[in-house]
């Protein structure tokens, strides 16, 4: 099997946004839409400010909130790791945009679909690298197969200053002096899973229960009228 | 528009006038728009429904949901305020007030529902079960309208708020769906309740039925 892991070395990221542009070209995105963005951030207090970059994009979650919320099944998780969307099946309801904790879904008005980073699954299938990895000037972006013992990804993600994104095969190496709090954090998705796995089934159970009760009532009256030979009327 | 002048609700021979035109119109605008909203919304909930119906139908459902939501939001309240203000006020007030007869009615209702013989206490214009349905419909309308319009702009809301709004809209819809199944069954099929159905069509119900079901109300009606 293949299980992809993605690694970004923020200590050498130059913030040049070549990845953003290469991705837009590869995916035919309008200039105002981007699957991967590079945010500059600062830590510390003046005059000891430290400036660095962090990439914001889809982390291909192990249990994606976007796929859990998707009512059509257009968004789905693949065994190899990438979370994909079948754009023809997407109805544009934007549930996934509400669900994703990282704001990684991109709504393409022209297409009427909530698109996303595919980890270039099509390229990976033919042995190529994602556009962002291929184009990265400093080599900060690396993709590898966790199930391949020879993959160089293992050495990278086991470095002491590397942080794994919780619940995702996605790793950042932090620049010196930058705490992991600088990385995006997944919050508030509990209600998405609770809605999908508790509230929706419970609500449907209530409707089913009501239907069963009234069928039982109708059956009771039918039996009564057959036994009694006459029809019921409203006098008790 | 038919007025609610004293005497609109009255006995006349074997019949009793129960609902004025504004009440019936508001009821049906509300009922039909509710059912369309429920059906078009359920397609997003029931597993496999979206795949079965296909993208085009689902997108049309989404548009229909938004258009019919306008009717659901703006019709019932003004119609009731213009055409049946006093009676609507009394309905809302009475819906939230339960006396001892109401509790005894509720205790005996399950038996009556399944056709077991039971003597239920005298009721006012609306019985305790109808009061509970009224409470659910009044609060439910408000919740669905507020959360529904928020969801039209869900991508502009703070993410956490949008998630809670979606969960609330979704669960309240299913809960109200369960309530409405019971309401439709009672009103159109249940042998003890269905003689009242014409109250929501012509406005008139059989006098014997009104007397049996709403004795406290019936006894106060002006008659001929
Ligand atoms: C009682 C009346 C209503 C019922 C029964 C109802 C039902 C539903 C249901 C079952 C869903 C799907 C929830 C899910 O996926 O779990 C839904 C979604 C939605 N409803 Fe309603 N709804 C009602 C009123 C409204 C109103 C007044 C609006 C206002 C515009 C509205 C706007 C929406 C929106 C925007 C969505 C999200 C799906 C989409 O974007 O197409 N609903 N509704
Ligand atoms: S980061 Fe967002 S878009 Fe990517 S898989 Fe997770 S929930 Fe989905
Ligand atoms: S917008 Fe498309 S991909 Fe996103 S939840 Fe709706 S149907 Fe699924």
Residue B71 has pLDDT above 60, yes or no: yes
The predicted structure's pLDDT at residue A178:
82
Q: Smallest Cα–Cα separation from A210: which of B38, B209, B212, B73?
A: B38
Q: What angle do CA B42, B140, A191 make, to 5 degrees?
A: 60
Mind telling me how many Å the CA of B1 is from chain A's nearest CA? 32
Q: Which of the two residues, A210 and A47, has the higher pLDDT score?
A: A210
Lowest mean pLDDT among A39-43, A205-209, B59-63: A39-43
Report the alpha-carbon distance of residue A54 to residue A73 in Å, rounded. 31
**A216 in contact with chain B, both atoms CB, cutoff 8 A:** yes
Of B159, B171, B185, the CB nearest to A188: B159
pLDDT-derived band at A234 (thresholds 50, 70, 90) equals very low
pLDDT-derived band at B224 (thresholds 50, 70, 90) equals low
pLDDT tens digits, B156-173: 999 999 999 999 999 999
Count the neighbouring beta carbons within 10 Å of the beta carbon of residue A209: 12
The CA radius of gyration of chain B, in Å to the nearest whole number, is: 20
The predicted structure's pLDDT at residue B1:
41
Tokens of A35: 């699957």
The predicted structure's pLDDT at residue A227:
86
Residue B3 has pLDDT above 50, yes or no: no
The predicted structure's pLDDT at residue A55:
86
DSSP labels for A167-197? TBSEEEEPPTT--GGGS----S-HHHHHIII
Of B166, B208, B212, the CB nearest to A98: B166
**A97 in contact with chain B, both atoms CB, cutoff 8 A:** yes
How many CB contacts within 8 angstroms connect chain A with chain B?
Answer: 136
Count the neighbouring beta carbons within 10 Å of the beta carbon of residue B1: 11
Q: Smallest Cα–Cα separation from A117: which of A57, A47, A173?
A: A57
Cα four-point dihedral sign B154, B155, B156, B159: positive
pLDDT tens digits, A58-93: 999 999 999 999 999 999 999 999 999 999 999 999
Residue B6 has pLDDT above 60, yes or no: no
pLDDT-derived band at A138 (thresholds 50, 70, 90) equals very high
Tokens of B129: 């079960």
The predicted structure's pLDDT at residue A1:
87
The predicted structure's pLDDT at residue A235:
47
Report the alpha-carbon distance of residue B3 to residue A224 in Å, rounded. 43
Which ligand 1 atom sits closest to the C-alpha of B42?
10
Contact yes or no for B107/B100 (Cβ under 8 A): no
Report the alpha-carbon distance of residue B39 to residue B44 in Å, rounded. 9
Report the alpha-carbon distance of residue B125 to residue B136 in Å, rounded. 18
Determine which helix (DSSP H) or strand (DSSP E) holds A223, and give its type and residue range.
helix A200-228
The predicted structure's pLDDT at residue A236:
43
Residue A48 has pLDDT above 80, yes or no: no
Q: Smallest Cα–Cα separation from B177: which of A207, A208, A45?
A: A207
**A193 in contact with chain B, both atoms CB, cutoff 8 A:** no
The predicted structure's pLDDT at residue B161:
98
Cβ contact, residue pair A99, B185, below 8 Å: no
Instruction: Starting from the CA of residue A6, give the closest ligand.
Output: 2
pLDDT tens digits, B186-220: 999 999 999 999 999 999 999 999 999 999 999 99
Report the alpha-carbon distance of residue B101 to residue A131 in Å, rounded. 74
Report the alpha-carbon distance of residue B57 to residue B64 in Å, rounded. 10
In the three-class reduction of DSSP (H, G, I as helix; E, B as strand; rest coil), residue A206 is classed as: helix
Q: Smallest Cα–Cα separation from A40: which of A16, A65, A21, A72?
A: A16
Tokens of B134: 């009224």
Q: What are phi and psi of A175, to 5 degrees?
A: -65, 155
Mind telling me how many Å the CA of B89 is from chain A's nearest CA? 29
Of chain A, the percentage scoring pLDDT greater than 90 comes to: 80
Q: What are phi and psi of B142, to 5 degrees?
A: -60, -50
Report the alpha-carbon distance of residue A74 to residue A64 in Å, rounded. 13
Size of chain B in residues: 224
Contact yes or no for B45/B170 (Cβ under 8 A): yes
DSSP labels for B28-70? HHHHHHHHHHHHHHHTTTSTTHHHHH-HHHHHHHHHHHHHHHH
The predicted structure's pLDDT at residue B188:
96
Question: What's the B155 CA to ligand 3 centre distance in angstroms?
Answer: 12
Which contacts (CB < 8 Å, 24+ apart) does range A24-29 have?
A25/A131, A26/A120, A26/A131, A27/A115, A27/A118, A29/A106, A29/A108, A29/A115
Half-sphere exposure of B97 (CA within 13 A, CB side): 9
């Amino acid at each position: 099997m293949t299980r992809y892991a993605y690694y970004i070395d923020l200590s050498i990221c130059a913030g040049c946004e070549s990845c953003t542009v290469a991705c837009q070209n590869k995916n035919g995105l309008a200039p105002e839409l981007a699957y991967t963005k590079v945010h500059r951030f600062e830590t510390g207090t003046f005059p000891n400010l430290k400036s660095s970059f962090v990439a914001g994009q889809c982390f291909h979650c192990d249990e994606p909130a976007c796929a859990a919320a998707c009512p059509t099944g257009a968004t789905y998780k693949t065994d190899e790791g990438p979370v994909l969307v079948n754009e023809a099946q997407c109805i544009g309801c934007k549930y996934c945009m509400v669900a994703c904790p990282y704001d990684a879904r991109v709504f393409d008005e022209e297409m009427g679909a909530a698109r996303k980073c595919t980890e270039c699954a099509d390229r990976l299938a033919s042995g190529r690298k994602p556009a962002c990895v291929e184009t990265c000037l400093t080599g900060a972006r690396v993709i590898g197969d966790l199930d391949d013992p020879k993959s160089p990804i293992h050495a990278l993600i086991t470095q002491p200053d590397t942080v794994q994104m919780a619940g995702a095969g996605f790793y950042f190496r932090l620049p010196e002096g930058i705490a992991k709090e600088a990385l995006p954090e997944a919050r508030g998705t509990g209600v998405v899973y609770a809605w999908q796995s508790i509230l929706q089934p419970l609500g449907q159970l209530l409707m089913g229960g009501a239907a069963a009760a009234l069928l039982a009532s109708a059956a009771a009256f039918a039996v009564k009228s057959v036994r009694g030979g006459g029809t019921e009327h409203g006098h008790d | 528009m038919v007025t609610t002048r004293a005497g609109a609700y009255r006995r006349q021979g074997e019949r009793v006038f129960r609902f004025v035109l504004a009440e019936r119109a508001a009821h049906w605008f509300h009922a039909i728009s509710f059912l369309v909203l429920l059906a078009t919304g359920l397609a997003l909930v029931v597993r496999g429904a979206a795949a079965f119906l296909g993208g085009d139908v689902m997108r049309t459902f989404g548009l229909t949901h938004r258009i019919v939501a306008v009717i659901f939001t703006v019709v019932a309240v003004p119609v009731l305020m213009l055409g049946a203000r006093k009676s609507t006020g009394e309905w809302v007030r009475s819906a939230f007030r339960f006396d001892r007869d109401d509790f005894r009615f509720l205790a005996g209702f399950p038996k009556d529902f399944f056709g077991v013989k039971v003597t239920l206490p005298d009721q006012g214009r609306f019985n305790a079960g109808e009061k509970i349905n009224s409470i659910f419909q009044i609060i439910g309308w408000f919740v669905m309208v507020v959360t529904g319009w928020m969801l039209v702009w869900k991508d502009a809301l703070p993410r956490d708020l949008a998630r809670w709004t979606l969960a609330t809209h979704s669960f309240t819809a299913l809960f109200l769906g369960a309530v409405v199944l019971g309401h439709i069954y009672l009103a159109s099929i249940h042998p003890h309740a269905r003689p009242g159905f014409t109250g929501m069509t012509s406005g008139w119900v059989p006098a014997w039925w009104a007397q049996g079901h709403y004795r406290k109300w019936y006894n106060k009606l002006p008659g001929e």
